[in-house]
Chains A and B, each alone.
Chain A
């Protein structure tokens, strides 16, 4: 008797252990993970929309280090049933890695993901996993530059709604220019760079002049300059038919040669982008010039500090115009609140909100309506010596004539190119020729 009771209890204990195991697995399987969030959709019901962005998207409430238009709060106010949780990743690269793994597993992705143009190709290649946002955009009266719309559209399905674009000017340190005996007024600086006829030759000529006068570096990083160059090539690394042409493209090689030559002549500060040393350089006089896509102004401000005096921006860019970066919002099909998420994505990329973002932060609108907004056009930036940034970036956007094609492998090839330039410029561990050869091998390995 006694023993049988004990046995039963024994079995119960064993079963208990087994059920713990089961419970753990079951909990995991049933319980929603935090990233996916939200429960059932349906109008009126409480929904949580999780948004993943990176760098300084300017959507949320402003913080000490990131500007913002506080748009989430605005949307939540108008939609009391919606709660928005934004997670800002440190960088586009890290956001991309996390996003890709989430997409590949089919779970855990955010309801809205901000995606950089450089990695849009891998999203458009998986178009069926993303919501067609066109109807929502139409309702929210969204409009975009034609090329921006095209980059987010696959077979008539608009899966990416453009947030900002990255028209590039040149940011410069007027105090350092003065010390080098160069002009400091932004119109004169623009002329010194070559004005409307500015080329990369004239850019590096001015650099040589600066370096000769001061013995100091002119620009921040070879990889950054190369970004400016490669974004002007219509088919750089990948041809429109999908073949990889990077290593045989004469323009790529010419740009590579030009920038490495300038770097070895002492024009480059030899800093790797997005590193501590690079960030510090905006404050420590490490270089006098940085290519300046609109959104980068946020970073310069953040790195130098809001009160820093010296940075200014010239309405000029070598080779006409150029666009660097700019992002899209996509809504994965796996989202449990995709309907609400799509509405939010459409709302926040609508012209009105784009304008607000530019006014609060420095992300230039991809919407023509927003660009035409008088407040946008009139914006000046005290950090950049009260430069009329609204006007300047509008001019810079107009000067963009080439829409570069970015194929599936573009991101990896460009990353390898940055490594190649860093080997020469930052680590100084290889000659340009050695580094090029290694890059050629790296590109070959991508097949």
Chain B
């Protein structure tokens, strides 16, 4: 059942009890066998947990630690963080880096941009993906060809796509602007304008992910039992009515999932704005037009490394803030989508029956 993918608890059900004879037989194997049975499960999960501890969990705590320190990229740890001239304070405080970050208009700009680019890319992308999925769901000729066709951009790295699109969206002589000039509309300031730069970056994001999400939706659509549609047709529902009152509610878990991951991914967007930046400085635009939180994090921690500043500490503070924002938003998003999508009562019962089938 598709709902399980977004529902951890379902997967946590223990395996069914095995019969006693089997257990007895295992025990009969003696100490080594018993140990094998007892230890193996832990042994098998241990590579993951050990590696994850090193590359995931420990860094989480370490980031929090660095965020409280006066840590410069070049000179390392320099004691407890100090906020400095920005807050007129030279007192060491473990919150100093956070205070500094909150005082930076760049941080708030980055936050605004991350959300804006996320929304501008996600919403149209999902709508287009849904529509394409509906089209692909029909009994097309050469199905695999069309499916592969929409997926093709997925194998192009975002950084590479961004290089291509930065030519297309070049301000003076880019493909789009030459065309617009030719039509007589006039050039669009793709880099200088906050809004247009977001559109351009969202385009790069959509280029890669629309096809992918289309296939996810398509698969979910094909999993909808056909009898539900048949029932809707009997009820006299047209194609649009079918789409809105059958397809969409039935896609609920997939929708929740895709929106959730788009949130997590979208708020971390880095490659596109990094490569969209023209020139070799002023990442994210000279007025932070398209500076995202991740780009800010990188610029602060690894680019503006001047000795004497706790730049890495501040970067770590941004990382933690990003983490909190992502978590909060993922939760809010989850609750929101669940509420919105669960409004129809009828598909719900249908899904329960579906669950039984799959179990």
Stretch at the interface among A144-152, A226-234, A336-344, A414-422: A414-422
Inter-chain residue pair count (beta carbon < 8 A): 123
A81: Cβ under 8 A from any B Cβ: no
CB atoms of A275 and B279 under 8 A apart: yes
Residues of chain B within 8 A of A91, CB atoms compared = 280
A447/B86 contact (C-beta < 8 A), A272-B278, A275-B279, A409-B306 known: yes
Of B36, B73, B76, B192, the residue contacting A429 (CB under 8 A) is: B192
A446 to B281, CA, bound (A): 17
Q: Which of A21, A274, A286, A445 has the most CB of B within 10 A?
A: A445
Given known contacts A104-B74, A427-B285, A447-B85, is B51 in contact with A4 (CB within 8 Å)? no
Q: Which residue of A lies closest to B285 (CB)?
A: A427
- Given the known interface contacts A10-B36, A438-B105, A445-B104, the answer about A101 and B302 at a Cβ–Cβ threshold of 8 Å is yes
Interface residues on B, range: 35 or more
Option from B36, B166, B282, B307 in Cβ contact (under 8 Å) with A125: B307
The count of chain A contact residues (Cβ–Cβ below 8 Å) is 52
Cβ of B287 within 8 Å of any chain A Cβ, yes or no, is: yes
- Bound complex: CA A444 to CA B104 (Å): 10
Q: Is the CB of B287 within 8 A of A14?
A: no
Query: When chains A and B are docked, how far (Å) is the Cα of A346 from the Cα of B355?
Result: 75
Do A415 and B172 touch (CB < 8 A)?
no
Interface membership of B171, Cβ < 8 A: yes
**Residues in A neighbouring B247, C-beta threshold 8 A:** none
Closest Cβ–Cβ distance, residue B329 to chain A (whole Å): 27
Contact A277 B171 (CB under 8 A): yes
Q: A100 contacts the other chain (Cβ, under 8 Å)?
A: yes
B229 at the interface (CB under 8 A from A): no
Known: A97-B302, A276-B167, A418-B281. A4 touches B307 (CB 8 A): no
Dominant secondary structure at the A interface? helix
What's the dominant secondary structure at chain B's contact region?
loop
A425-445 at interface with B (beta carbon < 8 Å):
426-430, 438, 441, 444-445
Q: How far is the CA of A447 from the CA of B25 in the complex (A)?
A: 71
Given contacts A408-B306, A438-B105, A445-B86, contact A280 B280 (CB under 8 A): no
- Residues of the A chain whose Cβ atoms lie less than 8 Å from the Cβ of B43: 14
CB-CB under 8 A from B32, the residues of chain A are 4, 7
Minimum CB–CB distance from B177 to chain A (whole Å) comes to 10
Instruction: Give every chain B residue within 8 A of A418 (Cβ-Cβ).
Output: 281-282, 286
Q: Across the two chains, which residue of chain A brings its CB closest to B278?
A: A275
Q: How far is the CA of A286 from the CA of B32 in the complex (A)?
A: 82
A444–B85 contact, CB under 8 A?
A: yes
Q: Which residues of B contact A444 (CB under 8 A)?
A: 85-86
In the assembled complex, the Cα of A415 lies from the Cα of B171 at a distance in Å of 22
Residues of chain A contacted by B173 (CB below 8 angstroms): 276-277, 280, 284
**Smallest Cβ distance from B69 to chain A, in angstroms?**
15
Within 8 A of B (CB), among A19-35: 21
Q: Tell me if B280 and A90 are in contact (CB < 8 A).
A: yes
A3 at the interface (CB under 8 A from B): yes
The answer to whether the Cβ of A122 comes within 8 Å of any Cβ in the partner chain is yes
A18 to B75, CA, bound (A): 36
The answer to the question of A249 belonging to the interface, with a C-beta cut-off of 8 Å to chain B, is no
Q: Does B124 contact A (CB under 8 A)?
A: no
Closest to B33 in A: A3
Q: Is A17 an interface residue (CB 8 A)?
A: yes
Contact in complex: A446, B309 (CB < 8 Å): yes
A94 touches B74 (CB 8 A): no
| A86 at the binding interface (Cβ < 8 Å) | no
Residue from the list B51, B280, B307 in contact with A122, Cβ < 8 A: B307
A93-B286 contact, Cβ under 8 Å, with A3-B33, A408-B306: no
- A360 close to B (CB within 8 Å): no
In Å, the complex CA distance between A411 and B304 comes to: 9
Question: CB distance A277 to B306 under 8 Å?
Answer: no
- Determine the chain A residues whose CB is within 8 A of the CB of B166 once the complex forms: 276
Enumerate chain A residues within 8 angstroms of B170, measured Cβ to Cβ.
Answer: 276-277
Cβ < 8 Å to A, chain B residues 132-167? 166-167
Tell me whether A423 is interfacial, beta carbon within 8 Å.
Answer: yes
Question: Does A70 sit at the interface, judged by CB under 8 A?
Answer: no
* Cβ-defined contact, A100 with B74, below 8 A: yes
Partner of A411, one of B105, B191, B306: B306
* Per-residue A-contact encoding for B164-205, CB less than 8 Å = 1, 0 else: 001100111100000000000000010111000000000000
- The reply to whether the CB of A126 lies closer than 8 angstroms to some CB of chain B is yes
Cα–Cα distance between A272 and B280 once the two chains are bound (Å): 10
Q: Is A87 an interface residue (CB 8 A)?
A: no
CA distance A409 to B304 in the complex (A): 10
Contacts A273-B279, A275-B278, A408-B307 given; indicate if A100 touches B86 (C-beta within 8 A).
Answer: no
Query: What is the CA–CA distance of A429 and B290 in the complex, to the nearest angstrom?
Result: 13
Quote the shortest CB–CB distance from B87 to chain A (angstroms). Answer: 10
B303 interfacial contact with A, CB 8 Å: yes
A334 to B281, CA, bound (A): 28
Complex contacts, A276 vs chain B, CB 8 Å: 166-167, 170, 173, 278
Contacting B286 at CB < 8 Å: which of A101, A126, A422? A422
Q: Does B84 contact A (CB under 8 A)?
A: yes
Residue B29 is within 8 A (CB to CB) of chain A in the complex:
yes
Residues of B within 8 A of A90 (CB): 280
Smallest CB–CB gap between A25 and chain B, Å? 9
Q: Which has the most chain A C-beta neighbours within 10 Å: B43, B50, B167?
A: B43
User: Known contacts being A104-B305, A408-B307, is A430 close to B287, with CB within 8 Å?
Assistant: yes
Question: Is B73 touching A104 in the complex (CB atoms < 8 A)?
Answer: yes
Q: Are B307 and A422 in contact (CB under 8 A)?
A: no
B225 within 8 A of A: no
Query: Nearest-CB distance from B74 to chain A (Å)?
Result: 5
Q: How far is the CA of A188 from the CA of B103 in the complex (A)?
A: 53
Contact of B306 among A94, A412, A430 (CB under 8 A): A412
Can you name 8 A-B pairs with beta carbons within 8 Å? A18-B47, A21-B47, A90-B280, A97-B303, A122-B74, A272-B282, A277-B171, A427-B286
For the A-B complex with A415-B304, A418-B281, A441-B105 known, give 13 more contacts whose Cβ atoms are closer than 8 Å: A92-B280, A122-B306, A274-B279, A408-B308, A409-B308, A411-B306, A418-B286, A427-B189, A427-B193, A427-B286, A427-B289, A429-B289, A445-B84
6 smallest CB-CB distances across A and B, nearest first, come from: A427-B192, A275-B278, A422-B286, A93-B280, A447-B84, A91-B280
Chain B contacts to A: CB under 8 angstroms: 29, 32-33, 36, 43, 47, 50-51, 73-76, 84-86, 100, 103-105, 166-167, 170-173, 189, 191-193, 278-282, 285-287, 289, 302-309
